[in-house]
Amino acid sequence: MNPVGAAADARHRELGLTDSEYDLICERLGREPNEVELAVFSLMWSEHCGYKHSKKLLRTLPTEGPAVVMGPGENAGAVDVGDGLAVAFKVESHNHPSAVEPFQGAATGVGGILRDVFAIGARPIATLDSLRFGELDSERSRFLLDRAVAGIGHYGNSIGVATVGGEIAFEHPYEHNCLVNAMCLGIAPRERLIRSAAAGVGNHLVLLGARTGRDGIGGASVLASAELDEDEDKRPSVQIGDPFEEKKLLECCLELLDRGLLASLQDLGAAGLSSSSSEMASKGEVGIDIDVSKVPLREAGMEPFEIMVSESQERMLCVVEPPRLDAVLATCTEWEVRATVIGEVTDSRRLRVLDDGEVVGDMPVEALVDDCPLYDLEPERPTRQIYPAPRATLRDDASPRDKLLALLASPGVASKRWAYEQYDSVVGSRTVRRAGAGDAAVLMLAPDGGTGAIAVAIDGNGRRVAVDPYTGAAEAVLECAFNLACVGAEPLGLTNCLNFGNPEKPHIAWQLIEAVRGLGDACRELGVPVVGGNVSLYNEGSEGPIYPTPVVGMVGSLPDPARVPGMGFAREGDTIALIGSFTHSLPGSELWKLEGRLGEGLPELDLASHAEALEIVRAAVRSGLISSAHDVSDGGLACALAECCIAGGLGARVEYHHGEGGDELLFGEGPGGVVVSGTHEALADLATRAGEVGFAMIGHVGGNSLEIAAGAARLNLPVVDLRTAWERALPDLLS
């Protein structure tokens, strides 16, 4: 079947549907779709909603584990943390909206991820953000950074949810496609968790929250399903957020769930009523009727298709049994939350859209959700590096001392205090370890009756994935796990956000396939299930794609937050040791970036050895044997030691000889290295258990300077100079 006439061709192509997809829609309907139906199909079959280029890959990830309460397919994943409590968490992208309007794009990214968490009945307690921008010598990148950080702070601070951690990177490939990935975690009694499947023929469909407007029509779903064209004015597609409206909505929904008044609950995110209603119907194997004339509108004259696809914020959809409707409406009135019956659950297995009782759209639920075409990627490994080398900013004859200062002052390594001080990191009184104070954030469970604590971290390194997609993605999992180990936490589950370019291009398809393979292998070796996540594709423009950037967020549990050591050296005279099978790789490193090099290929990982090292570090932290712990990451061992000195206000004397050149030893990067300090007796005891995974005593804490001898390389820098370089870099660049 072919579409009839040029007008039909234009309609579906303008909405992002291919000719073959349009033919399939006609086949499933038995006719051509009308305006409402075409709009709904175009969004449900978009990349952002349908995952048509990634769903097959995502099925290869491990999703089961002893702690898993909810896995992929729900608004958020959840894991058991004991004492009858569950922690829900998820990460999602709001990349293209943030590139168009960074304040509202980032703010509504936070709002959306909060709703994902309380949609399953968990109270949001913390957020984290993973951000990527172009280099800071670009006026555009400075603007995007400033406004995105302001948007995150505005929404999180206003709604009263702590922002406890995150990361910010600056690379030229993100100049035109910044990445704004937001993660949220929440806590709930296990029995309060609720699924989104609609159930009960004759039950009411109730819309909660804000009025529906034209802001956000086709926002996340359309902007995230095609390459970003800066020549088009897409600003009206960016949603507008209201954190105070969401706060009322959050509290109202949690009370409704506490009272057992809801049969199911669903967030209205990408594709608005179209996706929320059809996905609820699909999961419940029922049908849904919606009368758009009953939807409260922000502006007059909206067409039925506009109401169905609007992505206006701060809205939830719930299913309510008739005997409980009055109680639901009364509770909403108490919270000053708008509640409107807009439809009902049917046994038709169809999504019917009515306008004042007249049917204006009639679609099989199965066609909308289950029949979205899934495509096999056509990968091809590129024969050369597809990304240009970074612009060199470091002299060829720079000394080790100059290199360390340059690395500490580079935006990727430097202190992000400028950003995180704009966030409230302690609201809610759970924060034990806040943003910037260590490798992972730590939050108490006690306010909800639990013992112990949870730790959370978010990590990714697009440059290293660009150098080697498989190993770089596996390293992101290891980095997150080592961050948790440094506070004594055992991983319970992982969420991911896969940020890539156009998957229809063979080299991008290869990157995506290899990265997912690396994520899966690392998760299986560490025994960490993937409980949910998000995919953001088509992140590229006229200058090419972003670095392939899988971002992973990990949640773990620890028994005693009082024993969590700091990352800074704590006592004069303590011994310093390096634990783990640490490899020193310069390709993809921060040093090579400053030198104008990128490279290809990373050292092969021994995942089993890293898993053993994680257990040893975790046990050492929990035992209270060590005074400090900090993993080796961006900038290599020298930067890790410098950060330990800066955080503790103490110097150190280190000798580290491992048969490699000075740059590799000092500045080479790779997963698996953890710098710890403690008494000589404690570390000697630790050495007997850690020898098989790598253990070396490398120096002592003391003095006012960091002195390092590594191979033939030597450097000696006062701690005050290290601190100045590290702390002043971002403020000076942004002033």
Q: Smallest Cα–Cα separation from 468: which of 547, 532, 562, 396?
A: 547
Strands 652-655 and 705-710: parallel
Residue 202 lies in a domain: no
Catalytic status, residue 53: no
**Structure tokens, 443:** 């939050």
Question: What distance in Å separates the CA atoms of residue 540 and residue 547, rounded to the nearest whole number?
Answer: 9
Give the pLDDT confidence score for residue 228 in this predicted structure. 44
Residue 670 lies in a domain: yes
**Structure tokens, 522:** 């690392």
Residue pair 553/182 in contact (Cβ under 8 Å)? The answer is no
Catalytic status, residue 94: yes
Q: How many distinct structural domains can be found in the chain?
A: 1
E strands, 212-272, in order: 264-267
**Which distant-in-sequence residues (6+ apart) come within 8 Å of 564 by Cβ?**
432, 433, 438, 442, 453, 487, 488, 558, 621
Question: What distance in Å separates the CA atoms of residue 222 and residue 292, rounded to the nearest whole number?
Answer: 22
Residue 329 lies in a domain: no
Range of the domain at 599: 565-735
Residue 169 CB neighbour total at 10 angstroms: 20
Tell me the one-letter amino acid at 705: S
Question: What distance in Å separates the CA atoms of residue 552 and residue 90, rounded to the nearest whole number?
Answer: 10
User: How big is the CA angle at 729 (ends 104 and 97), to the nearest 5 degrees?
Assistant: 15
Helices and strands (H and E) in the chain: how many: 25, 28
As beta bridge partners, residue 718 has 705
Strands 287-291 and 350-355: parallel
- Catalytic residue, chosen from 12, 53, 94, 204, is 94
Give the pLDDT confidence score for residue 233 in this predicted structure. 47
Residue identified by tokens 């050296």 is: 569
Residue 360 lies in a domain: no
Residue 628 lies in a domain: yes
Sheet containing 77-82, strands listed edge to edge, beginning at the edge strand earlier in sequence: 68-70, 77-82, 85-93, 179-189, 123-133, 162-170
Give the pLDDT confidence score for residue 28 in this predicted structure. 94
Residue 602 lies in a domain: yes
Residue 735 lies in a domain: yes
Sheet containing 441-444, strands listed edge to edge, beginning at the edge strand earlier in sequence: 431-433, 441-444, 453-459, 549-558, 490-499, 530-536
Burial class (CB within 10 angstroms; exposed 0-12, middle 13-18, buried 19+) of 356: exposed
3-state secondary structure 458-527: EECCHHHHHHCHHHHHHHHHHHHHHHHHCCCCEEEEEEEEEECCCCCCHHHHHHHHHHHHHHHHHHHHHC
Give the pLDDT confidence score for residue 451 in this predicted structure. 73
CATH number of the CATH domain containing 578: 3.90.650.10
Report the first-to-last Cα separation within the chain, whole angstroms.
60
Consecutive sets of 10 residues in the chain, 735 residues long: mean pLDDT of each? 51 89 94 95 91 94 96 95 94 92 94 96 96 96 96 96 95 95 96 93 97 73 46 56 95 96 93 94 96 95 94 95 98 98 97 97 95 94 94 94 98 94 91 81 78 92 97 97 96 97 96 98 98 94 93 96 93 96 90 96 95 96 94 96 97 86 90 95 93 92 96 94 97 91
**Which distant-in-sequence residues (6+ apart) come within 8 Å of 688 by Cβ?**
none
Give the pLDDT confidence score for residue 536 in this predicted structure. 95
Question: What distance in Å separates the CA atoms of residue 721 and residue 705, rounded to the nearest whole number?
Answer: 9
Give the pLDDT confidence score for residue 440 in this predicted structure. 94
Residue 423 lies in a domain: no
Give the pLDDT confidence score for residue 48 in this predicted structure. 85
What is the 8-class DSSP label of residue 332?
A: H
Question: What distance in Å separates the CA atoms of residue 422 and residue 458, rounded to the nearest whole number?
Answer: 19
